[in-house]
Structure 1
Amino acid sequence: MRFTVLTEPDGRRSARRAGAVVAVLSGLALALTTTTAHAAPGDPDVIAHRGSSGMAPENTAAAIDLAVRQHADFVEIDVQQTKDGKLVNFHDCTMERTTNIEDLYPGRPRYRVSDFTWKELQRLDAGTWFHKKYAGEPLITLDDVIHRIDRTRTGLLAEISPCSHYTDIATDLADHLTTKPAYLNRALTRHQLAVQSFQPDDAHAFHTRLPAIPIGILDADRPTDTELQQLSTWADQINPQHTVTDQTLVDRIHQLGMNINVWTVDEPGAIRTMTNLGVDGIITDYPQTLTQP
């Protein structure tokens, strides 16, 4: 995947902003900029990929709660939107792999999150595929995730879904977060909130709406230096696959004033390698590998 880097704001997406929330966020923006760049070397943030997804069904309450108990610094989730506008935590562009949706709703032309209402999706079993002890584990909303981590030591790294049928999900996510000023204030003050995307245009749209929230760019490939320089004018994080990450890339990202979180790092040897490179965060299915002695 190659970046399409934006250098100018998208005027169509920079419309309304909730005044009271923006005042709070703007007041925090200056303080946050001082923590965006890499500071002293140390242990990387432990970021639980879809929750503690190596031990519980991904993106469910069970996986989120387990990550919190394992003392993850962040949970990484995936934001999609239902037919009736509810923001939910789900990764795949269709739901057959991790739910019983085909059994409950046979004959539907598509099985995307956006093809169903939240009421319909609440009936799904999102746990049995992982293990029978999680039978009946439901899907959860973004609000459910926030409720479970708010006022804990665990922050939130929310990924804007790259599924191509979404057009305004980045700004819908931003607008929804502005309805939660108390949570935003707490999370930003404690440096416990960031958003990331594989799509630079979605990341830029979100950043335009809520610039105080750190924004990251995901990539499975190694970004070029030209891309890094352009992204550094507005992005806070570059989050590549760990297999394309080396010391030169880590140092260059830090030199440009951005942080680097690598994914998805599960093998102990790879974890040691990434830690020794000085990455800022490790996204892993097994957060306990890094948090437990």
Structure 2
Amino acid sequence: MKTKLILFFTLVFVFQNCGKVNKKPLNIGHRGAMGHETENTIASVKKALELNVDMIEVDVFLIKSGELVVFHDEILDSLTDTKGKIEDFTWEELQKVVVKGNHQIPTLDEVIETVDKLVVLNIELKGKNTAQPTLELLEKYYQKGWTKEDFLISSFLWDELESFRKLDNEIPIAVLTEENPLDAIATGKKLKAVAINPWWKTLTEENVEALHSEGFQIYTYTVNEPKDIKSVTELGVDGIFCNFPERLH
């Protein structure tokens, strides 16, 4: 009897730990699949879809003429043939800008149409004053059959997330942080966020457990090396942002 009990508890321990290690996190294409195509372009979004991601993350700014465009940097200098702050341009002017790899800067509209409800679209509010126009654009898609669960809104600008939550009490929100992820818990609760998105290097077994115990999913960025992907997977994160989504399969 004693031997059987020891065997039983040994098996329970093994299965519990295997379950933790083998938990498969969501595969989140970072700025599309920027390891393959220029970040935040339609080509990058299409590549992420081709690589069977679960979610695609893109960044948005509000430009001078009122459109929401998908781009990461505040200035155009490093990724295009043009210099200056992206928010100072009109859409007509941006259409003449060439992005590295001979791409164009897309509107958020174009990205949503490309994703076409195939996966969840994580819209990071990169620029200021993006909350309200983003909500207004999404409402147009709700009328076409999209649901709030087709989107995830995130930002390092927590005031933008607060503005969004005041306008919409239901859409999923994720709080981005590069500091101690536990410092985001209070804001996460205030916003009724579904997730906290920390920099992977700030994660420990303890804070992962603490975030989970508070009811948050953990989507960590940006993990590209196989050994690091393995490490955060073993910590039990719920999603991984990656430039090379095929590495998570």
TM-score, structure 2 normalization: 0.86
| Residue in 1 that maps onto 2:120 | 155
Does the CA contact (< 8 Å) of 1:155 and 1:187 recur in 2? no
Does the CA contact (< 8 Å) of 1:44 and 1:281 recur in 2? yes
| Residue in 2 that maps onto 1:255 | 213
| Residue in 1 that maps onto 2:163 | 205
Deviation track 1:141-186 (CA, whole Å, cap 9, x = no partner) reads 101100111142x22001001x4xx3x2212211221122145x53
- Pick the structure with more helix per residue: 2
* Cα distance in 1, alignment partners of residues 238 and 143 from structure 2: 27
Matched residue pairs, number? 228
Offset at residue 101 of structure 1 (A): 0.9
* Cα distance in 2, alignment partners of residues 125 and 212 from structure 1: 37
Amino acid at match of 2:136: D
| Residue in 1 that maps onto 2:233 | 275
* Cα distance in 1, alignment partners of residues 229 and 28 from structure 2: 12
Identity fraction in percent: 32
- Is residue 62 of structure 1 aligned with residue 43 of structure 2? yes
Offset at residue 230 of structure 1 (A): 4.9
Matches within 5 A, 1:82-161: 82-102=63-83, 111-127=84-100, 134=101, 136-152=102-118, 154-161=119-126
**Secondary structure, aligned partner of 1:71:** coil
Structure 1, unaligned stretches of length 5 or more? 1-39, 103-110, 128-133
Structure 2, unaligned stretches of length 5 or more? 1-18
Does the CA contact (< 8 Å) of 2:195 and 2:218 recur in 1? yes
Aligned-residue RMSD, C-alpha:
1.7
Larger Cα-atom Rg: 2
| Residue in 2 that maps onto 1:231 | 188
* Cα distance in 1, alignment partners of residues 133 and 43 from structure 2: 26
Does the CA contact (< 8 Å) of 1:83 and 1:116 recur in 2? yes
**Secondary structure, aligned partner of 2:146:** helix
Does the CA contact (< 8 Å) of 1:232 and 1:258 recur in 2? no
TM-score, structure 1 normalization: 0.74
Instruction: Select the structure with the greater relative contact order (CA < 8 A; seq sep ≥ 6).
Output: 1
| Residue in 1 that maps onto 2:6 | none
